[in-house]
Structure 1
């Protein structure tokens, strides 16, 4: 009998994950939407991520990154080809980039078993955090089993994201059926991050607008408002704090 694996989008979901759902749990502790994601090998990729995380977030030393993050990423590479893999990721850009990476890894491993997308059915800003244990079970039961063609297309999203090939991102989304229409908003949000004509990208410009409207650059109110307006990005406090500092330092 094939094994089952649940790849979760963070420790918050791990803490409330229904014990009745059978399978090995892998916690994806990364934020690939932010920072350097290059590397000619997995080890180079891990090293660049460790350095970025340590510099950008401060409280995570490179050795700690390898201990808590790389150890889980390596588990993905050990998943047997015929296993059922449940991907518990939300619809925002933060989660989707991580999901694309996982799908790319599974494709590289010639995964032949079932791949199932488990998405929350709450409003975007709440995600899995807006579901109780019964709600998580219902999300599991609503999981989308990927066809071979859908799996192939989705696995290509990571490379397109990595190379910042916006046209390919749009083309890949357009190859998918209507169920995946949520990806279009994530791709639009990604493309809008690019500065143009010397201006900031969408996230920074949103921060500027919020500061002007609220008449404050204090983190707490800016963060709350950003999460309301720009929930498509899925940014946490650390990402928004760095955006705020970037905007303030530009003045």
Structure 2
């Protein structure tokens, strides 16, 4: 059976307009999941994995179940059934954590022995596929990274490690292994820094929000702008930052206008009190007040909580 020429996979609808202007040959598929957020437990049977994801997305983002079916589950099924029909699959993903985790999932999905050529287009840090002019998108495609069998095998291994209930295994792999994807190490190290700090219970990005409020961010909009300016590596949008802020209010940040640290939040930021995180997921790890892992800022590494 003759293969179809090219399938382009874009991360999110924000890239579609720029991609259409570039008029690159091939079919286009948009990936609309955010696998860097919420429970990602690949040890579950596949149907249970997607049930868990659907429950999370419909709750966290007020997404109707039928919309999730159309936007995500139908897309997964299409890739599973027709992905091998293309001569080449090109994945267009930015350098941030959200994009890189989505990229890992898709590489292990489409990078099967039956697949044709699998390539990756990633703009330089600080650039976004959705904001590039047509000539830069064309150049990016010409310089795309074609992945070999061993590199696809590594992507599958990284996905299994990211979705493992023991994140220390991922940390060890990152220390011991040279990664084929140039921005994956930094993204996954940032993921590990999302775990609560051993000293005060704050994750790195939670601490950043507290510092911005302490420094004078008065509104949620100001807080978001400062976060995007100083911490673009997470790839967070409005929804993710609202969820993060919801976890911190009212315990650490008062629900006032203007925004203000609570007395307890100020003490935590000074290192004089310990914060117990509200329950949330980091991949396959359920973080709560009894969480089993914490990030040691002195050794710059994740460890089991004593």
* TM-score where L is the length of structure 1: 0.89
* Contact 1:211–1:222 (8 Å) recurs in 2: yes
1:6 is matched with: 8
Higher percent of residues as helix = 1
1:182 is matched with: 183
Whether 1:20 and 2:61 are equivalent positions in the alignment is no
Structure 2 stretches of 5 or more lacking a match? 253-306
1:33/1:62 CA distance change after superposition, 3 Å: same
1:243/1:119 CA distance change after superposition, 3 Å: same
1:113/1:176 CA distance change after superposition, 3 Å: farther
SS in 1 for 2:183: helix
Output the aligned Cα RMSD. Answer: 2.1
SS in 1 for 2:60: helix
2:154 is matched with: 153
Answer with 145-154 or 76-85: which moved more. 76-85
Q: Which has the higher contact order (CA 8 A, sep 6+)?
A: 2
Count how many residue pairs are aligned between Structure 1 and Structure 2: 245
* TM-score where L is the length of structure 2: 0.74
Higher percent of residues as strand = 2
For residue 81 of structure 1, report the CA deviation from its aligned partner: 6.2
Matches within 5 A, 1:98-117: 98-107=102-111, 109-117=112-120
Which of the two has higher C-alpha Rg?
2
Aligned equivalents of 1:82, 1:111: Cα separation in 2: 10
Matches within 5 A, 1:165-180: 165-168=167-170, 171=173, 175-176=177-178, 180=181
Matches within 5 A, 1:196-235: 196-197=197-198, 199-216=201-218, 218-235=219-236
* Contact 2:197–2:204 (8 Å) recurs in 1: no
1:137 is matched with: 138
| CA distances 1:103-141 after superposition (whole Å, capped 9, x unpaired) | 11124x4344211110113x42x4113311222111111
SS in 1 for 2:120: strand
Aligned equivalents of 1:236, 1:106: Cα separation in 2: 27
